[in-house]
Chain A
Amino acid sequence: MEANRKTANEGRALNVKASHWEHFSHGSDIGVRGFGASVEEAFEQAAVALTAVVADVSRIRQLESVEVHCTAPDIELLFVSWLNAVIYEMAVRRMLFSGFQVATSGCSLTGNLLGEKVDPERHQLAVEAKGATYTGLRVAQQDGQWLAECVVDV
């Protein structure tokens, strides 16, 4: 695991004290990991970690909102579906998001994404996310927090 941990005060977008995100190493790509007091917060933070793979999250203004829905047979597959929904909206709308609000009901999810159109100069772009994978996939409680993580193909 790499020391790229961001705390609640370092460029993340949510107002939950315990929640944070980090990246972890993968041979050719990159792992994203979100922590939160609830599974929803962990999902939200992992989406911030995903965005941080693509761009500088702190430079993304929250000017527009996009709603996404996804379903899956279990919570881990729901997590991958959630990240893939974010990747899809980034790709087709040419947008970046820095704010994420997730609500789950069983194994269905509604997410609200807050962001703006891509600005290559301002957003410090790095690399596109092709898809969230089932590699290194885990959604679990750990040390009193929820954790959600997987590798993203870039």
Chain B
Amino acid sequence: MNRASLTRHSDFEWCIEPTGQMRVPAIIYAGEQLIEDMDEKVREQLTNVATLPGIQRAAYAMPDAHWGYGFPIGGVAAFDPHEGGVISAGGVGFDISCGVRALRTTFTAAQLEPKKNELADALFRSVPAGVGSTGAIRLTEQEMDEMLRGGAQWAVARGYGIAEDLESIEEGGCASGAEPEFVSQAAKKRQADEMGTLGSGNHYLEVQRVVEIFDSVTAGVFGLHQNDIVVSIHCGSRGLGHQVGTDYLKTMVIEGYRPIPDRELACALIESELGQHYLGAMRAATNCALANRQIITHLVRKAFGEVMPDVKLTLLYDVSHNTCKVERHVVDGAIRELFVHRKGATRSFGPGHADLPAALLGVGQPVLIGGTMGTESYILVGMSEGEQLAFSSACHGAGRSMSRTQATKHWRGRTLVDELREKGVLIRTRSYRGVAEEAPGAYKDVNAVAEAAEHAKLAGRVARLVPLICVKG
């Protein structure tokens, strides 16, 4: 991105001043190098978001921002329904409530080592992953609607997990206001055999080792120590969410709010019938994602039980990074209820926030940053300053630096799997081509992204983790 047209507010905050139809400025949080590497499309899309009605304060981009659909991926924008605010299907994305879940384990890297291969095989057998994979669970029409209303709470009630899990999921594991009747039959049909599946692309199930602690106090509260083993699950709302996104994006393009600068920014007034229908369907899809990650957690626990029966897995936290949530924020000195879109961005409430579970009140919300199968992942924590910056939001991952096609020309999947095994990372996959497309070298440096988030005061680094086992979607 050309820095010349940006106003620099600080080392890690850059501003696009409002011009033309922009109602608010656009703010990008990133260091110099990340700004230079950032796609010009981020500027274009962020500028377009800033023209939407009811937008509050600014349109924001996180350090990992890149070209998305209407909104940049790594984009955050909050809208006030009382000022004609909008809800945007593109601002949430196709994989509604895609997110990351981290589980603590009760063993260390040294204890894992002799069981590593066996565990990798057990996880690969237990959690369906990759194109065309199906789960074992089949739901009746009524059960599907119950799942869409209940999310992870429904899953736990069905025996997939324990009640304590729910305390460590955003919104207690259930998005309120879900309305399955606004989810199409096509979307429900697409989900028919996809419950408890990982999906493909950048989705993964990883066993990771904590290799660095940045903030020992917060790490202690999170229950993380050097050399601990953590399980990380990255996936979303599967076929149902994809179809809800497809259905409503089309309807918003045809019937939604006008004028918009680009039709990929399709949206509807929050208080319109279309806006309300989308919200009901989007929250149902959110619950589908939460139920899905909960079922996968159950499958992971079973797989561990086969190999290491004494191990306990407890939920550290579950964050969604493709969402629109209703939150209370202070704007111009007044508390307002806003619809906060986070597309490829993570909520990052700081310490003391009323929506945090008691155990986290003193330190803030865990922010889970996915890396690649060959590099690092991060656990960060929300900071108080984040509220006034980007409505308590932070980054969600590294972001690609190379397209899928380029990656398949640079790397061969089988070679990558062999090279990673030499480095101590076991890959389990049904698709070598998929591995090549997800090559670690095709992603930006997640270290720079996490560092920028901390320097910008969006979220502070707590722990760095490296993969030991990766089941690739």
Contacts and interface: CB of A to CB of B under 8 A. Distances in A.
Interface of A: 2, 4, 23, 25-30, 53-55, 72-73, 77, 80-81, 84, 87-88, 91-92, 94, 118, 120, 124-128, 130-135, 137, 151, 153-154
8 contacts: A25-B403, A120-B431, A127-B201, A127-B431, A127-B434, A128-B132, A130-B242, A151-B69
A88 B250 CA distance: 14
B264 interface: yes
A112 B266 CA distance: 30
Contacts, number: 131
A125 B264 contact: no
A2 B131 contact: no
B264 A153 contact: no
A73 B254 CA distance: 8
A2 to B, nearest CB: 5
B41 interface: yes
A134 to B, nearest CB: 4
**Most B Cβ at <10 Å: residue of A4, A23, A131, A151:** A131
A133 B70 CA distance: 10
B200 A2 contact: no
B53 interface: no
Interface of B is mostly: mixed
Given A118-B131, A124-B433, A135-B69, A84 B403 contact: no
Given A81-B250, A118-B132, A133-B69, A127 B404 contact: yes
A53 B253 CA distance: 25
Interface in B263-303: 263-264, 266
**Most B Cβ at <10 Å: residue of A125, A127, A135:** A127
Interface stretch (B155-163, B185-193, B215-223): B185-193
A130 B95 contact: yes
B430 A91 contact: no
A33 to B, nearest CB: 12
A118 B243 CA distance: 20
A152 B131 CA distance: 15
B200 A127 contact: yes
Nearest to A150: B264
B394 to A, nearest CB: 18
**Most A Cβ at <10 Å: residue of B66, B94, B437:** B94
A134 B69 contact: yes
B41 A125 contact: no
A88 B186 CA distance: 8
Contact of A54 (B131, B134, B190): B131
Interface size class of B (residues with CB under 8 A): 35 or more
A126 B134 CA distance: 16
A94 B239 CA distance: 12
B366 interface: no
Contacts of B430: 120, 125
A127 B405 contact: no
Interface string B344-372: 00000000000000000000000000000
A2 B263 CA distance: 25
Contacts of A73: 254
A116 B433 CA distance: 20
A81 to B, nearest CB: 7
Given A125-B131, A128-B201, A91 B69 contact: no
A120 B128 CA distance: 13
Given A126-B437, A127-B201, A128-B201, 4 more contacts: A2-B406, A25-B403, A125-B200, A127-B434
Interface string B65-97: 011111001000000000000000010011100
Contacts of A84: 246, 250
Contacts of A134: 69-70, 90, 249, 253, 263-264, 266
Contact of B69 (A25, A124, A153): A153
Given A27-B399, A30-B405, A120-B431, A135 B192 contact: no
**Most A Cβ at <10 Å: residue of B245, B250, B254:** B250
Q: What are the nearest 8 A-B pairs in CB distance? A: A27-B67, A118-B132, A27-B66, A125-B131, A25-B403, A130-B242, A134-B264, A126-B433
Nearest to A121: B430
A140 B444 CA distance: 35
Contacts of B95: 130, 153
Contacts of B192: 92
Contacts of A2: 403, 405-406
Interface in B387-407: 399-400, 403-406
Given A81-B250, A91-B190, A126 B66 contact: no
